[in-house]
C-alpha cells in the first residue's frame, strides 16, 4: 500500500468523493441508471442497517448491472462537481496544504470524472473496478481486516496518515464516512454524516458546498499554526 503523503505536514485536507466532490453519489446513480431491476435497493437497506459490509453490498448490487463502454463514458461525463472543489483546490495549492481523496467508491469512476474536468495531481485512495464485457467488477486492495463495514476503511487510511500529518481536516457526507470520524481532527459534515453527528453530539462543522469549507479553513489553519508555534516555544 503506497503512502498518501510524501513528507510531513502540519495540516492536510482529506475529502470524501461521492456526494462531496461530486454533486451526487456516483455509485448509487450508476446503480439507478444501469441496474436491470430494483433488487439493489434491498441490498442497500441491508448495508445501511449494518447487516453486511460495503464490499458484500456492492458485489451483490453490481451483479445486476450492465453497461457498454460508451454508456459508461456518457454517464461519467454527466457527473458534475461541487462548485467549490476547484476553488478549494486552488486555495490549498496556494498555501502548500496537501489535498487527498479517500473514497469507498471506485477508481474507474474517480479517474473518469477527474479526467473529464482536467483534474491532475490529486492523490486518492479507493476501491478498484474494471469494466469487462459490459459488467463492472470490483476489488478491494485497501480493505482493513479491523473493519467489518467498509471496502476501504477511511479510519485505517487516516491512522496511517498520522505519521505525516499533525492536523487532519476531513469533509464528507455519507455513511461510508463514519469510520473517518474517529481519526480526523476537524470534521465538515453534511447529509447523512451531519445527521449522525447531530444525533450523537459529535463535534462537526455543517456545510452545504465545498465553498463553505474554503471560507472556514483559513481560521483552522491559523489556529493550528499558532498552536504549533506555542508548542515549539514551550
Of residues 48 and 229, more confidence is placed in: 48
- Contact at 8 Å (CB) between 165 and 159? no
Question: Is 139 part of any domain?
Answer: yes
Tell me: pLDDT of 227 over 90.
Answer: no
The predicted-structure confidence for 119-176, as pLDDT tens digits, reads as follows 988 999 999 999 999 999 999 999 988 887 888 999 999 999 999 999 999 999 998 8
Question: Is 1 part of any domain?
Answer: no
Which three cell numbers, joined as nine digits, stand for 148? 467489518
- Contact at 8 Å (CB) between 58 and 139? no
Domain limits at 112?
9-229
The C-alpha atoms of residue 88 and residue 83 are separated, in whole angstroms, by 9
Mean pLDDT of 62-81: 96
The C-alpha atoms of residue 202 and residue 194 are separated, in whole angstroms, by 9
For strand 9-15 and strand 165-172, is the pairing parallel, antiparallel, or unpaired? parallel
Q: Would you state the pLDDT for residue 2?
A: 58
The C-alpha atoms of residue 221 and residue 218 are separated, in whole angstroms, by 5
Question: Is 171 part of any domain?
Answer: yes
User: How many structural domains compose the chain?
Assistant: 1
Cross-strand partners of 127: 106
Average pLDDT of the residues of the chain: 93
Q: What is the CATH number of the domain that holds 88?
A: 3.40.50.1000
Question: Is 3 part of any domain?
Answer: no
Question: Is 4 part of any domain?
Answer: no
Question: Is 146 part of any domain?
Answer: yes
Question: Is 207 part of any domain?
Answer: yes
- Contact at 8 Å (CB) between 182 and 197? no
Q: What SS3 state is found at 49? A: coil
Question: Is 118 part of any domain?
Answer: yes
Amino acid at each position: 500500500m503506497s503512502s498518501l503523503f510524501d513528507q510531513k505536514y502540519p495540516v492536510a485536507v482529506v475529502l470524501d468523493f461521492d456526494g462531496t466532490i461530486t454533486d451526487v453519489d456516483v455509485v448509487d446513480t450508476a446503480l439507478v441508471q444501469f441496474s436491470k431491476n430494483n433488487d439493489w435497493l434491498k441490498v442497500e437497506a441491508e448495508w445501511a442497517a449494518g447487516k453486511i459490509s460495503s464490499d458484500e453490498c456492492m458485489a451483490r448490487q453490481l451483479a445486476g448491472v450492465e453497461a457498454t463502454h460508451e454508456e459508461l463514458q456518457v454517464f461519467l461525463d454527466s457527473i458534475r462537481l461541487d462548485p467549490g472543489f476547484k476553488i478549494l483546490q486552488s486555495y490549498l495549492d496556494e498555501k502548500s496544504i496537501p489535498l487527498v481523496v479517500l473514497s469507498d467508491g471506485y477508481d474507474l469512476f474517480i479517474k473518469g470524472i477527474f479526467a473529464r474536468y482536467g483534474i491532475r495531481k490529486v492523490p486518492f485512495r479507493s476501491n478498484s473496478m474494471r469494466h469487462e464485457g459490459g459488467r463492472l467488477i470490483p476489488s478491494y486492495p485497501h480493505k482493513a481486516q479491523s473493519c467489518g463495514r467498509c471496502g476501504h476503511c477511511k479510519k485505517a487510511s487516516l491512522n496511517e496518515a498520522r505519521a505525516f500529518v499533525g492536523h487532519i481536516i476531513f469533509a464528507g457526507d455519507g455513511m461510508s464516512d463514519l469510520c473517518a470520524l474517529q481519526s480526523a481532527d476537524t470534521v465538515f459534515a453534511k447529509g447523512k454524516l451531519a445527521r449522525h453527528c447531530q444525533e450523537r453530539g459529535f463535534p462537526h462543522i455543517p456545510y452545504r458546498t465545498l465553498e463553505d469549507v474554503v471560507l472556514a479553513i483559513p481560521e483552522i489553519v491559523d489556529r493550528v499554526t499558532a498552536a504549533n508555534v506555542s508548542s515549539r516555544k514551550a
